[in-house]
């Protein structure tokens, strides 16, 4: 288990990026709140995709919570 910080979150997101980029999207970690809520920004096609909530919950949040059990939730910010 890695320490919960933005560098490690971005390293974990690197594993997901190829799947998002193939459809013209991407994701970046923005912040981690004191109560372990991670904010990410969906970029490119992911920003306007009608399925972006599903991508956020079933893909990004699930992967990050598996690698970092201290995460409470992952939220998308603009």
Examine residue 62 and state whether it is found in any structural domain, yes or no.
yes
**Which residues of the chain are modeled with pLDDT < 50?**
none
DSSP β-ladder status, 37-44 and 73-76: parallel
pTM of the model: 0.90
CATH of the domain at 43: 3.30.300.130
CB 40 within 8 A of CB 20: no
Q: Which domain holds residue 35?
A: 6-76
């Amino acid at each position: 288990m890695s320490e919960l910080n933005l560098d490690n979150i971005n390293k974990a997101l690197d594993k997901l990026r190829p799947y998002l980029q193939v459809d013209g999207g991407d994701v970046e970690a923005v912040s981690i709140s004191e109560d372990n809520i991670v904010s990410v920004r969906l970029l490119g096609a992911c920003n306007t995709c009608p399925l972006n909530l599903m991508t956020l919950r079933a893909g990004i949040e699930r992967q990050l919570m598996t690698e970092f059990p201290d995460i409470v939730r992952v939220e998308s910010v603009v």
